[in-house]
Amino acid sequence: MVIVMKPIASQEDIGKIVEKMENQGYRVHKSVGDNYCILGLIGDTNKIDISQLEANAMVEKVLRVHHPFKLASRLFHHDDTVIQVGDCKIGKGSLAIIAGPCAVESEEQLMTIAREVKKAGAQFLRGGAYKPRTSPYSFQGLGEEGLKILRKAKEETGMPIVTEVMSHETFDVVEEYADILQIGARNMQNFALLKQAGKSSKPILLKRGMSATIEEFLMAAEYIMSEGNHQVILCERGIRTFETYTRNTLDLSAIPVIKELSHLPVIVDPSHATGKWAMVEPLSKAAVAAGADGLTIEVHHQPELALSDGGQSLKPEKFAKLVESVYRIASVY
């Protein structure tokens, strides 16, 4: 349920309603803009008499929220959420470019790529230290050693680090090194991990599961937010369909749908969506034109030698061309 306060409502007026609702056992999420205040009630609100609330002179209107996600809903938070990481922003008009290799393979490899993507215009450095691979015999990452290499690259380039957290056992160590914690598609409905991420002070980049509906995707975000962490970035990375030519099917329609339903920023991963480097640039352009708040792109200076996902990685010169193109498109909107 959402209570929209009148613009003339004082802090004392708002506080009285918040206190009343909390005394009835509800959690109250307050969203304040320049000319409005919205109170979102968390809990079973079916027993609330709306007419009693609307009788308050300082209440503009009361709305029932019909979708199961509340904190992620735009009704609860009218303005777009902006995630601030150091000097970089994700959301509301700023195009965030996250780039780097699928996996950290060595110090030389990561430092080479980090310098190149920084020069091309990336603001964030991505790289996997712990890798969830389909096959148990594939490269699983360097673990904490990979995190140390990521930190060294950050110290040289100034780019914040985005890396994946896979389990409870490694959560604390990844949190220590990372600026943004990524929860991958395979873990989108790992509810225990989502709750742990909700207790973190770090922003969470949540990838859509390969068979997840948009409602399930937003409900996964709700798990994180319900534990207190509202710094969630949603990532559309393609879903599994009947088509086998590409690795996945990039659902560009998810961008405007999520923008309509939720205030959270949404970025796109065209690398995992297609699995083919030649398709990354055109789909990046399409994603930005559709309103994406950012892109996460896999880049490798020697993709033919990459230990993970070389076929979908751009070489630095192609990445630089992509960045130039998407910024031109973003400047039109």
pLDDT in tens, 271-316: 999 999 999 999 999 999 999 999 999 999 999 999 988 999 999 9
Q: Rounded to an integer, what distance in angstroms lies between the CA atom of residue 208 and that of residue 201?
A: 21
Q: Do 188 and 220 form a contact (C-beta atoms < 8 A)?
A: yes
Domain 2-63 has CATH 3.30.70.1140: yes
State whether residue 89 is helix, strand or coil: strand
Q: How sure is the predictor about 93, in pLDDT bands with cuts at 50, 70 and 90?
A: confident
Mean pLDDT of the chain: 93
For residue 137, pLDDT over 70 is answered with no
Tens digits of per-residue pLDDT, 100-136? 999 999 999 999 999 999 999 999 999 999 977 667 7
Per-residue pLDDT at 66 exceeds 90: no
Q: How far is CA 144 from CA 88, 132, 148, 273, in A?
A: 25, 15, 6, 28
Q: What is the average per-residue pLDDT within 28-50? A: 85
Q: Max alpha carbon distance in the chain (Å)?
A: 69
Distances (CA, A) of 36 to 10, 62, 135, 209: 11, 14, 52, 35
Where in the sequence of the chain do the CATH 3.20.20.70 domains occur?
83-332
Q: What is residue 139's predicted lDDT score, i.e. its pLDDT?
A: 74
pLDDT at position 30 is 87
Query: Are residues 296 and 283 in contact, defined by beta-carbon separation less than 8 angstroms?
Result: no
Lowest pLDDT segment from 64-78, 183-197, 236-250: 64-78
Question: E strands within 117-194?
Answer: 124-126, 161-164, 180-183
pLDDT per position as a tens digit, 268-282: 999 999 999 999 999
pLDDT per position as a tens digit, 170-225: 999 999 999 999 999 999 999 999 999 999 999 999 999 999 999 999 999 999 99
Tell me what pLDDT residue 75 has: 85
Q: What is the CATH number of domain 83-332?
A: 3.20.20.70
pLDDT band for 64, please (50, 70, 90 cuts): confident
Residue 251 banded pLDDT, cuts 50, 70, 90:
very high
Q: Which two tokens stand for residue 69?
A: 């996600």
Ranges in the chain annotated CATH 3.30.70.1140: 2-63
Q: Calculate ∠ Cα 134-137-140, nearest 5°.
A: 75
Candidate from 42-51, 68-77, 129-138 with smallest mean pLDDT: 129-138
The sign one gets for the Cα dihedral 263, 253, 84, 272 is: positive
Q: Are 204 and 175 in contact (CB under 8 A)?
A: no
DSSP lists the bridge partners of residue 325 as: none
pLDDT band at 62 (very low <50, low <70, confident <90, very high): very high
